[in-house]
Amino acid sequence: MEYRQLGESNLQLSAITFGAWAIGGWMWGGTERKGATEAIRASIDQGVTSIDTAPIYGQGTSEEIVGEALKGIPRSKVQILTKFGLTWEGTKGKFNVKSKNNNNEDIDIYKYAGKESVIKECEDSLRRLGTDYIDLYQIHWADETTPIEETFEAVLRLQEQGKIRAAGVCNYNVEQMERANSVVKLASNQVPFSMVERTIEQEVKPWCIENGKGILAYSPLQRGILTGKIKPGHAFGEGDHRPTTRFYQPDNIARINAFLALIKPLAEKKNATLAQLVIRWTIERPGITVALVGARNADQAVQNAKAIDVKLLPEEIDFINKHLYALQLV
């Protein structure tokens, strides 16, 4: 495994970080706790030391599974990354979305990051995770109803109390990062980034590079489509959110598969899967610190971690990029 400093913080993360969204079941059609726990432990056996989760993933389920999986592992050997600012309790903040919990009950989710709420969320996360500190504490989405300065004053207090080691944001634009950074030194921004979703390269990534902030790329496999396993006509399970997204529209599934067919020979030459090639390409991209990759069983976790063994020459990256830049999605 390779390990990278996150921005200018004192955190060293594994270049391939375990993303624990799917194991919470939320928007992914349910969860299986035993397989999820085994997936995390298998990742750690492969040298993955960083686990990224959030309270909203299964309304606490993902954090609980992470805590269970890490029992018996020396706390200093792993980095726990979690979030705050999406709440399914109460009605404060901006209404975000109607959803269902893992019991198939209707719930309303709000974006809210008022000072006292942030502190309460941190305490709840510490309890579910079974730890006394969080390595990276990140706001999940911007809360338009609370001044950014108020939110990050609470984060600063948590850092001063030793309950978090570093502060981060997710899905923030440049102006929002600047305001947060004026209160507490940010380590990073966690943002969507993949071969087919490169919006951050316009403004966010240049700012992060210039200002010494790490970037955690989430959905580098675009929720599975860049593995090559999602073909036209794929049947998704009940509760799976992916068919509602742009990349999973029939025309785009076909176009992405055509692109993958062009780069698959390179993966085969490397004795790698398409997913491993894509993950390696992602962490080679300038400005990207780590790639967050999810797994729902041990085999997936091992295969993801082994992407670190793929080595790409500059001319091979150019070959991938040539075909990638010719890909036009609708």
- Annotated active-site positions, please? 57
Report in angstroms the alpha-carbon separations of 95 from 26, 143, 190. Answer: 18, 10, 22
| Residue 12 host element (H or E) | strand 12-14
**How many whole angstroms from its chain centre is CA 230?**
20
| SS3 state at 183 | coil
The answer to whether 62 touches 69, Cβ cutoff 8 Å, is no
Query: Which of 119, 139, 121, 140 is CA-nearest to residue 129?
Result: 121
Q: What is the DSSP letter of 171?
A: S
CA atoms of 81 and 67, how far apart (whole Å): 12
